[in-house]
């Protein structure tokens, strides 16, 4: 473990809000936008805390080279949380349509999919860029069928 000298630089923080438009259900790569915000903050090394400010989309770090990975992830979550309602886990029994549909038939499935995934991420950065793997990207995972305007909070802590 590396020790910090007594005169080490003080940690600073920076708070940003990112706005983005999705195309509807699916993945939006936000890695470049995050790197841009981190670079503009003037912080070189630290931790980026990212929070999605919505209840019907989520965040994930995943494969950025083979788009079939994202297709398979989406298919898995759609099978796990079907659009039309819920059945007993055993698969036997009647389909019960979702009760909550205030914003349309994709409303409740989107909330469940969000609950099963992540709405926050804590990511290290160095040199003004995220420290993620070569084949990784950070995605906003939209669970609603229609295009949506989304807000993310990015809280940076570093030096």
pLDDT in tens, 127-136: 999 999 999 9
Distance CA 146, CA 106 (A): 9
SS (H, E, C) 55-103: CCEEEEEEECCCHHHHHHHHHHHHHHCCCCCECCCCCCCCCECCCCCCC
Are 75 and 25 within 8 A, CB to CB?
no
DSSP 8-state symbol, 34: H
What pLDDT score does 87 carry?
86
What pLDDT score does 2 carry?
58
pLDDT in tens, 82-97: 999 998 888 889 999 9
Match 């290290």 to its residue by tokens: 124
Per-residue pLDDT averaged across 105-128, rounded?
97
pTM summary value: 0.91
Domain ranges of the chain: 13-158
Counting beta carbons within 10 angstroms of the beta carbon of residue 58, is it exposed (0 to 12), middle (13 to 18) or buried (19 or more)?
buried
What the block records as the tokens of 11 is 């940690």
pLDDT in tens, 34-81: 999 999 999 999 999 999 999 999 999 999 999 999 999 999 999 999
Residues 6+ apart with CB under 8 A from 111: 55, 56, 100
Name the average pLDDT for the chain: 94
* pLDDT band (50, 70, 90) for residue 8: low
In CATH, the architecture of 13-158 is Sandwich (2.60)
């Amino acid at each position: 473990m590396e020790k910090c000298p007594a005169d080490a630089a003080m940690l600073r923080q920076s708070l940003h809000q990112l706005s983005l438009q999705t195309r509807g259900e699916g993945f939006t790569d936000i890695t470049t936008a995050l790197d841009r915000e981190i670079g503009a903050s003037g912080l070189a090394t630290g931790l980026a805390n990212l929070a999605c400010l919505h209840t019907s989309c989520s965040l994930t770090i995943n494969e950025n080279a083979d788009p079939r990975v994202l297709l398979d992830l989406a298919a898995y979550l759609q099978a796990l949380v079907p659009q039309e309602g819920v059945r007993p886990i055993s698969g036997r029994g009647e389909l019960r349509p979702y009760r909550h549909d205030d914003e349309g038939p994709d409303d409740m499935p989107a909330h469940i999919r969000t609950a099963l995934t992540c709405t926050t991420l804590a990511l290290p950065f160095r040199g003004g860029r995220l420290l993620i793997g070569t084949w990784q990207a950070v995605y906003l995972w939209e669970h609603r069928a229609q295009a949506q305007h989304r807000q993310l909070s990015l809280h940076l802590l570093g030096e």
